[in-house]
Amino acid sequence: MLPKWFDEWNKKNPVDIYRPAILLGTLGGVVFAVALVVTWGQPFATDSMQTGPRGTGMSVPEFETDLAQADPTIVDYYTEAVFVPEGGEPLAGDVYENVQVLGGLTEDNFNRLMNAITQWVSPEEGCAYCHGDLALEDYGQDNLYTKVVARNMIQMTQAINENWDAHVNANKQVGVNCYTCHRGQNVPSDIWFQLGPVNESVEGWAAIQNRVTVLSQSTSLPSDALERYLLNYDQIAVHDLESRVDTQPGDPTIQDTERTYSLMNYFSNSLGVNCVFCHNSRAFYDGGQNTPQWATASLGIIMVQEINNDWLVPLQDVYPEHRLGPVFADAPKAACRTCHKGYQQPLQGTNMIADWPELATTGAPVYE
């Protein structure tokens, strides 16, 4: 039953029987493993998402186990069905004092939304986080900065859903509400502040790089990319399309390239994707060869610029000192990861305005 070479080896080497046995066992094990793979399939199966036209190889392969890994914060999301108005119900603006936003809601829907915001932002502190330890009839006071900020954030949320539909609803009806960023925390994770020079050993251009920081995604890339591109409206650019351009480290072109790499690295980590999710790797500079996701991301950049400049930065004088940045005492700002938290879609595409039409528009909500 054994191979002829095996019998001949044993005759010539009656003492040394281990080496051929090990070889035979190894070969048999390999054959068995190959047979299992062929029969049962590749044990580390992958799935691919097509990101560009067929034939260009623009796809993002991921292990199926990674794709199946759910965002753990989804299970804590609080939602509640609307009270469809029948007409004639008392309005919040008539019942309560100083309702500057949402006063046109019925009292029931107003209280329902206030309870949800409490669950999304301050589940431990409750209503007192914004209103203080007061009697209900005194909730109209604006003594706490948290209430002033919350009112502003409600308006910002409505503006995002109303004006940036092409980004927040690019794939399907999703929208945003307070939980998109806060996830049960008073202050959302992944906010950012200006750092300025981070390498005190040098001056000039080198002072903002070659030091691992949160804003550079723990790399040696520049730490001012979010500030330049998501706050100051600088143009995102990588290189000169002319060949053999005489540039040196510290030249604007090289600086912009390194900043852009820093920003793109931040994007990838924020959404859990790689470069070809948005770009064709053979022509990064050519927008005509990019994927549809590139357009969605481009709108997201402009949206975040507006959020920071029109909504968040103006609150700097409202915040107490302990809420401001550690270096420049600047207001907290948002970026992609503030909402996405490492996933392609925040909360993996959960519809955040399905039960909260009050946050979907600055006009009268549509109840269904």
Which of the two residues, 244 and 143, has the higher pLDDT score? 143
Alpha carbon distance 92, 106 (integer Å) = 6
Q: List pLDDT tens digits, range 8-17.
A: 767 777 666 6
Q: List pLDDT tens digits, range 17-34.
A: 677 677 778 888 888 887
Q: Which amino acid is at 18?
A: Y
- At 28 the pLDDT is 83
User: Are 338 and 160 in contact, with CB atoms under 8 Å apart?
Assistant: no
Domains and CATH numbers, the chain: 77-179+353-368 (1.10.468.10), 190-340 (1.10.468.10)
Tell me what the pLDDT averaged over the chain comes to: 88
Lowest mean pLDDT among 17-31, 127-141, 189-203, 253-267: 17-31
- At 165 the pLDDT is 94
Q: Which amino acid is at 318?
A: V
Angle at 111 between CA 152 and CA 103, to 5 degrees: 55
Q: List pLDDT tens digits, range 32-56.
A: 887 776 666 655 666 666 666 666 6
Q: Which long-range contacts (CB under 8 A, 24 or more apart) does 303-311 make?
A: 303/160, 303/164, 303/167, 304/230, 304/334, 304/335, 304/336, 305/230, 305/231, 305/233, 307/156, 307/160, 307/334, 308/230, 308/231, 308/333, 308/334, 309/231, 311/152, 311/153, 311/155, 311/156, 311/159
pTM given for the model = 0.82
> Residue 132 above 60 pLDDT?
yes
- At 161 the pLDDT is 97
